[in-house]
Amino acid sequence: MSEKKFVAPDAATVARWRQDIVFTESVRGCEFTFHTTWGIFSPRAIDEGSRLLLDHLDVNPTDDCMDVGCGYGVLGMTLAKLAPQGRTLLIDKDFVAVDYAQKNCTLNRLGNTEVILSNGFNQVPKDRKFDLIVSNLPAKVGNEQHYLYLFDAHAHLKPGGRFVVVTINGLREFIARTFKEVFGNYDKLKQGKTYTVAQAIRE
């Protein structure tokens, strides 16, 4: 059996790949239009993990929120819509993601948002506090980075503030243990076939 011959894309196809990917989806009853590009996580549709987190997340209208590792803005934009009387900060270490998140916040007229380039929390003012911090935690950054996220989230939460994450199920036990170590508590909000949503509260 002969191997399938690879055919390089033509110039028109390459040019099309350089254009923004644009799609519209409804999240928590809110319709958003997203502009994305190749190289950003889940560029053609909202990923399953983010959906699961948003479907099992309580947001108060006055919450000040943060989206850590915002990508093109799915979580943070939804938080901003559900908490119109609060402010939502979106951060990412990838300047391309920050550019697209800013573009998407503007296109969707979310005036209560701010998007900044930050490696973890290192560009977030130390005195800035939040009611709710969320993250679709990457699986492959290593335990050291995960611990930094947890300690920094704890430091940036108001008393009673919540840190809610979605992870692949393979990290479920690690998250349960480290939430208890750093926050003193852990609550599994939802476990799906592939992902788990967990919450810790700053007491």
Domain definitions of the chain by residue range = 47-201
**Predicted local confidence at residue 3, as pLDDT:** 66
Partners of 91 in beta bridges: 68, 116
Q: What is the mean pLDDT of residues 33-58?
A: 96
> String of b and e for 103-141 (b: at least 16 CB within 10 Å)?
bbbeebebebbebeebebbeebeeeebbbbbbbbbeeee
5: pLDDT confidence band, cut at 50, 70 and 90? confident
Concatenated DSSP letters of 126-180: TT--EEEEEEE--SSS-HHHHHHHHHHHHHHEEEEEEEEEEEEGGGHHHHHHHHH
Whether 145 contacts 135, CB under 8 Å:
no
Superfamily of the domain at 47-201: Vaccinia Virus protein VP39 (3.40.50.150)
Query: Distance between CA 43 and CA 99 in Å, rounded?
Result: 14
Query: Distance between CA 51 and CA 45 in Å, rounded?
Result: 10
Is residue 50's pLDDT more than 60?
A: yes
The tens digit of pLDDT for each residue in 75-100 reads: 999 999 999 999 999 999 999 999 99
Closest CA to 151 of 190, 120, 114, 193: 120
The tens digit of pLDDT for each residue in 124-159 reads: 999 999 999 999 998 888 899 999 999 999 999 999
Flag the least confident range among 31-45, 86-100, 137-151, 184-198: 137-151
> 183 burial class (0-12, 13-18, 19+ CB within 10 angstroms)?
buried
Is residue 7's pLDDT more than 90?
A: no
For residue 35, give the H/E element and its range: strand 30-36
165: pLDDT confidence band, cut at 50, 70 and 90? very high
Query: Distance between CA 178 and CA 122 in Å, rounded?
Result: 21
Closest CA to 162 of 127, 197, 195: 197
* Integer Rg of the chain from CA: 18
31: pLDDT confidence band, cut at 50, 70 and 90? very high
